[in-house]
Amino acid sequence: MSFIIRDIRALLHLTQGAIGRLAEDYVEGRLEIEGDLHDLMATAPALLPHDPTPEAAGWLLRHANRARRTIWERTHHSRARDAAQIQHHYDISDDFYALWLDPLRVYSCAYFSAPKMSLAEAQQAKLDHICTKLMLRSGERFLDVGAGWGALLLWAAEYYGVAATGVTLSRNQHAYVSRLIEQKGLQGRVKILLQDYRDVDESAPFDKIASVGMCEHVGRPNLPVYFAKMRRLLRPGGLMMNHSITAGNVDAPEVDGGMGDFIDRYIFPGGQLVHVSVMLDEMARGNLEPVDAECLRPHYARTLWHWADALETHLDDAYRVLGTDAEKITRAYRMYLAGSAMGFERGWTSLYQILASRPVASTETATHSTGRIANARSDYPFNRSYMYARDAESRR
């Protein structure tokens, strides 16, 4: 592994151990990196002068950082800005993402429920894992918030028999999923909406809701709005799955060393992480009852390395399909995928699936009462046996 310095700024960032700034230098051509990305990410943490996850020491600096984050948070999540930020990331090129995602184009953490699973198998296992946790039943109304390229939406309809609605702000994804729905002849049971989650119709609540990799785009100030909306969209007794990346530190949502700034500038503008404790707190304040939480942090590290390695084998194709700014975009994604894998390996970031219910009021009855335990107040049976049974079946 070697560095070729082309600008004094890159040398300064190297001496400071600002690895996020070094990634930016690489994207902008101020630095060349030669060698294997696995080797680079194995050595990169040694450049850091300190642990990048704790909040800054010193009362004044901590409060200055918090004030800066608050101002940033409150100006980055209007409907128009959220749409523009989503399209900035997801609409660069469907063909580019197809180079390194699995055939279903699942752009979220896979679930390696067996040791030697391929990425495609692990992504299918993840789709089943979510559908199983939600206890999807034929005929139920299912909402997928942030539906991506439609993998979960279509999987739930085809294998679990639900009437599925997806929501996205990506024009490319909306067009792609619309074509898939037509090709599969699912127009009567599946639809995809180009719409902000805040504008989804509440007149006919859904039985089950999944939000996979979408909550990171909401912004901390909007979490109360987000969970309140999810509750209104969910029928009494229904279940919601919130699958999202979380911060590794309780107090500091950003990873130091310029890494958060790099992601915001080149990859996910407007994205923001919170610790899982914040997520649970906001969910509970939104009158949703968390009933199960599962950490998939090492699964995401493995997923990201699959993506990073796939992109490395298709660099020439990436330059071809991206067109304008192809080199800059490809360099950014090389650093983002491999760097994120390192971050999940080291616990700088994590990922949780949190299953929650909208408990029925004392005057209501859950639509599909499980009958397994008294006072459940929702479809959830308050044991995991149904999940384990499905996982065991999928491994046979």
Residue 393's pLDDT is what? 59
Residue 17's pLDDT is what? 86
Residue 55's pLDDT is what? 55
Residue 57's pLDDT is what? 47
Q: Please indicate, yes or no, if residue 126 is contained in any of the structural domains.
A: yes
| 297 touches 109 (CB < 8 A) | no
The count of domains in the chain is 1
Q: Please indicate, yes or no, if residue 164 is contained in any of the structural domains.
A: yes
Q: Please indicate, yes or no, if residue 307 is contained in any of the structural domains.
A: yes
Residues 157 and 111: their CA atoms lie apart, in Å, by: 20
Q: What is the DSSP string of 153-194?
A: HHHHHHHH--EEEEEES-HHHHHHHHHHHHHTT-TTTEEEEE
Residue type at position 311: L
Q: What is the DSSP string of 99-151?
A: HHS-TT---S-----STT--HHHHHHHHHHHHHHHTT--TT-EEEEES-TTSH
Helix (H, G, I), strand (E, B) or coil at 247: strand
Q: Please indicate, yes or no, if residue 51 is contained in any of the structural domains.
A: no
Residue 253's pLDDT is what? 62
Q: What is the DSSP string of 283-329?
A: HHHTT-EEEEEEE-HHHHHHHHHHHHHHHHTTHHHHHHHH-TTHHHH
Q: Please indicate, yes or no, if residue 316 is contained in any of the structural domains.
A: yes
Sites in the chain below the pLDDT cut of 50: 56-57, 61-62, 64, 72, 395-396
Nearest to 301 by CA among 103, 124, 41, 49: 41
Helix (H, G, I), strand (E, B) or coil at 238: strand
Residue 361's pLDDT is what? 82
Instruction: Return the residue matching tokens 């009494």.
Output: 236
Q: Please indicate, yes or no, if residue 140 is contained in any of the structural domains.
A: yes
State both tokens at 258: 């310029």
CATH of the domain at 370: 3.40.50.150
State both tokens at 42: 């194995």
State both tokens at 153: 């939406």
User: Is the full-model pTM beyond 0.85?
Assistant: yes
Residues 279 and 288: their CA atoms lie apart, in Å, by: 11
Residues 259 and 51: their CA atoms lie apart, in Å, by: 13
Q: Please indicate, yes or no, if residue 35 is contained in any of the structural domains.
A: no
Residue 395's pLDDT is what? 47
CB atoms within 10 A of CB 22: 26
Residue 45's pLDDT is what? 87
Residue 250's pLDDT is what? 86
Nearest to 128 by CA among 156, 93, 105: 156
Residue 73's pLDDT is what? 54
Q: Please indicate, yes or no, if residue 300 is contained in any of the structural domains.
A: yes
Residues 19 and 49: their CA atoms lie apart, in Å, by: 10
**Segments forming the whole domain that contains residue 121:** 83-395
Residue 260's pLDDT is what? 85
